[in-house]
Amino acid sequence: MSTTAFVGDRPRPTIVLVGHGMVGQRFLEALAERGLTATHRVVVLGEEPRPAYDRVQLTSYFSGRTPEDLSVTDMEFIAAHGIELHMGDPVETIDRGARKVTARSGLTVGYDVLVLATGSYPFVPPVPRRDAEGCFVYRTIEDLLAIEEYAKSRATTGAVVGGGLLGLEAAGALKGLGLDTHIVEFAPRLMPVQVDEGGGAALLRTIEDMGLSVHTGVGTQEIVTGEDGSVTGMKLSDGSELATDMVVFSAGVRPRDQLARDAGLAVGERGGITVDEQCRTVSDPHVFAIGECALAADGRVYGLVAPGYEQAETAAATIAADEASFTGADLSTKLKLLGVDVASFGDAHGTTEDCLDVVYSDARSGLYKKLVIGRDGTLLGGILVGDAEAYGTLRAFTGSVPPIAPESLVLPAGSGGSAQLGPSALPDEAIICSCHNVSKGTIRAAVTDHSCTTVPEVKKCTKAGTGCGSCVKVLGQLVTAELEASGVEVDKGLCGCFAQTREELYEIVLALRINTYQDLLDRHGRDGARGGDGCEICKPTIASIIASLAPTIGASGYVLDGEQAALQDSNDHFLANLQKNGSYSVVPRIPGGEITPEGLIVIGEIARDFGLYTKITGAQRIDMLGARVEQLPLIWARLVDAGFESGHAYGKALRTVKSCVGQTWCRYGVQDSVRMAIELELRYRGLRSPHKLKSAVSGCARECAEAQSKDFGVIATSNGWNLYVGGNGGATPRHGDLLAQDLSDAELIRLIDRFLMFYMRTADRLERTSTWLERIPGGLDHVREVVVEDSLGIGEELESLMADHVTNYRDEWAATLDDPEKLARFVSFVNAPDTPDPVVGFVSERDQIKPDLPLLSIGTRPLEGSAQR
């Protein structure tokens, strides 16, 4: 047994923590907050080779985050509190009589208090050959590394067994690795625990639209292997066989309680170490269990991190002789799975007697929203698929009667019936952060009683927003509201360099004809910022304003001229989108999606000659990816010679105006949508704005161009054109609002001119038209008054500004090719311009290239502050 530690002449009691995951790390923090790390010796023994990391965000490893990025362990904290951390050395036996544990290495540690945080293990169905080569589980970073290596070297197709939370995460990982991916789920729908039939259907449609194959209502009967013993397929319960090179089991988890069983601790019938409300095992008062290995007093094993954190707090408080209990937890959850927002809260399935459902479903857009309402109007729970923007507010209202009609809470913005329900309407007892059980009242107190004035300060004070992060937006709104209610002037300036908002800076630049960033900073910057270099927030923002007003204020509209070049975001520096392996994309403009055979041939020849990856996008363009920086001028020289110009895929500018074939070809078409799309795209090309702009023109009400999901969309009628504004696809879908109808060509263009310039004048930095339209005072009605009715008398001015842009437009790549000085920037190494970047590499897949991203090598290193034995 290891030597007892002393403080002065007194021996320090020892707390041993078995397992170092997210819950284990939170337990250590709770010990430190109560001063127990100063009065106790704390020893941690973990099985994995690395300290605690964010398992909730595990899949983000495949999108570029490193294991170090995922870490939730502050080694300075470990060292400062004298915590002895032993990783890669799991406990193998517990001697409860002698109160000691023995690890695999032979290390023996005596304990006064033992805390088990051993987590869970993946459940693998007992099917034949489940351990064949090519079969994996999805639980740890080491699992991900093994999956990545096998997928890269041995597989083209993968199948995930399990369509729950982790199963969809695993499927997203396989798809991201370039595999044709299947999901096999025994239940009749995806995510059966979190969503109902309607939510599962919306999720299924969206996932299938991404190119994944989903098989529900079937189980895995057998893994099929080849002569070498590796996976070649799987047999399903409906008699079909699925060809696949690898199988990832993600069919749920089970409590890791074997260590406790071997020590004679009581466990539940279906697993889990039985504990009381203080998280102390019912078998031994010296042993606690927390997290996924524990069977709580309410008979439930909690598989979410928030209940685990609460159990960690309870155990630490009990050890410190404070009163605390864990009697259950909120199982609400919000996740982004395969890019799709999915959330559930409260009684999501409506199990409460005599409750009612309020449902909004839009299968085309993959939206499904359901609220469960009691007869008295109490919000009992809900499910959100495709748009979980209201999750934080709705979850906080659970158990109370919302102040507005429940149907208005699920209708999408822009539908004409939705209502805004801000966090200021919440009662103080409403839980804002479920991860750390922080109420609205606690957040308000952080501002009023502890003088917190920013979200980071409130996070540090309350821990709110430091878990999954889904409450941060609501947290920011509460902090601002509380400061304003206290009479504190809230700084709404663009950044630390400017006290003005973006809208105010736009007006200053326009009114005073300021045409350089440095002049604006020196004349209107904050004290201390004047004469400086600015920051990463204001520099690209001001660059965009100057570019959008360039003809009017006498500035160069070319983003790589002089001072402008130093202000741009990374993509604008090379007039191309940087890709994940350091190469760039080339996206020529194809107005309206219309292109001649000769144009297609030119693009094909260039892609072939430079070995580029080609893809037809949903925006009716052709992307060519994989160009090295030094190749960009060579590629664009050929494109410009063939009549192509920049598609501005890299800029906060107009991207495309999508169109259907219209009345020219379609038997349902009532207007020439292609002609109008081309006219609009050529008019607004190169228009720099607060955020990217997308548009579309549909030739009839069947809406094949999806115009209502665009920043400005046009739909043909038998009498002209209907104009919709403020639409948005992406992560937060929003239908556009009808601004005006039955417009002539001239009326349509005039209103779009005014709308775009008014948006550019009043929007915040990086604010899409959809967000701007909901934020601007008066909303759609005010915008209609200004744009259509000219209530402010600025219609002619807005039109004049747009006319200046149209008259002075010049293609950026054509301008670059004409200037040898500008061309000099297109090199990987300034001191060796002829040397290509050796890091940029490719491999072949489906007869095209894809980035060759080397596997990340994860090594182990000594842990500061741990005792070496």
DSSP 100-145: EEEETTS-EEE-SEEEE---EEE-----TTTTSBTEEE-SSHHHHH
427 pLDDT higher than 50 = yes
Residues 163 and 240 in one domain: yes
Residue 741 sits in a domain of what CATH number? Answer: 3.30.413.10
Share of the chain above pLDDT 70, in %: 93
Q: How many Cβ atoms sit within 10 Å of the Cβ of residue 265? A: 21
DSSP string, 294-323: EE-TTS----SHHHHHHHHHHHHHHHTT--
More confident residue, 368 or 366: 368
Among 523, 553, 568, give the residue marking a domain's end: 568
Residue 576 covered by a domain: no
Residue 696 covered by a domain: yes
Residue ranges of the alpha helices (H) in 320-437? 391-397, 407-410
CA triple 629-534-578, angle to 5 deg:
20
Residue 560 covered by a domain: yes
- Which of 161-175, 500-514, 589-603, 675-689 shows the lowest mean pLDDT across its residues? 161-175
Put the strands of the sheet holding 367-374 in their side by side order: 333-337, 340-346, 379-385, 367-374, 355-362
Strands (E), 544-627: 584-586, 613-616, 622-627
CA 359 to centroid of chain Cα atoms: 25
Helix H or strand E segment including 512: helix 502-512
Residue 466 covered by a domain: no
Residues 62 and 208 in one domain: no
Alpha-carbon distance 438 to 306, whole Å? 11
Residues 743 and 783 in one domain: yes
State the pLDDT at residue 397. Answer: 82
4 pLDDT higher than 60 = no
Residue 277 covered by a domain: yes
Give backbone dihedrals phi and psi of 36, rounded to 5 degrees, phi first. -75, -20
CB 817 within 8 A of CB 558: no
Residues 100 and 167 in one domain: no
Structure tokens at 374: 């009691």
Structure tokens at 624: 């060519």
> In which band, very low, low, confident or very high, does the pLDDT at 583 lie, cut at 50, 70 and 90?
confident
Residues 697 and 775 in one domain: yes
Q: What is the pLDDT of residues 130-145, one digit of tens each?
A: 999 999 999 999 999 9
Q: How many Cβ atoms sit within 10 Å of the Cβ of residue 500? A: 18
Residues 269 and 164 in one domain: no
Domain assignment of residue 45, given as a range: 6-121+255-319
Residues in the chain: 869
Domains contained in the chain, number: 4
Strand partners, 216: 185
Q: Determine the 3-state secondary structure of 241 from DSSP.
A: strand
CB 278 within 8 A of CB 327: no
> In which band, very low, low, confident or very high, does the pLDDT at 858 lie, cut at 50, 70 and 90?
very low
More confident residue, 747 or 416: 747
Residues 707 and 801 in one domain: yes
State the pLDDT at residue 422. Answer: 66
Residue 164 sits in a domain of what CATH number? Answer: 3.50.50.60
Residues 140 and 61 in one domain: no
Helix/strand/coil (H/E/C) assignment for every residue in 390-415: CHHHHHHHCCCCCCCCCHHHHCCCCC
Residue 496 covered by a domain: no
Residues 106 and 197 in one domain: no
Residues 270 and 231 in one domain: no
Residue 244 covered by a domain: yes
State the pLDDT at residue 412. Answer: 59
In Å, the largest CA–CA distance within the chain is 94
Among 568, 600, 619, give the residue marking a domain's end: 568
Among 765, 789, 808, give the residue marking a domain's end: 808
State the pLDDT at residue 731. Answer: 61
Alpha-carbon distance 512 to 549, whole Å? 12
Residues 710 and 668 in one domain: yes
State the pLDDT at residue 10. Answer: 55
Count Cβ neighbours within 10 Å for each residue of 533-558 and write b for 16 or more, e otherwise.
ebeeebbbbbbbbbbbbbbbbebbbb
Q: What is the pLDDT of residues 210-264, one digit of tens each?
A: 889 999 999 999 999 999 999 999 999 999 999 999 999 998 889 999 999 999 9
Residues 804 and 694 in one domain: yes
Residue 444 covered by a domain: no
pTM: 0.58
861 pLDDT higher than 80 = no
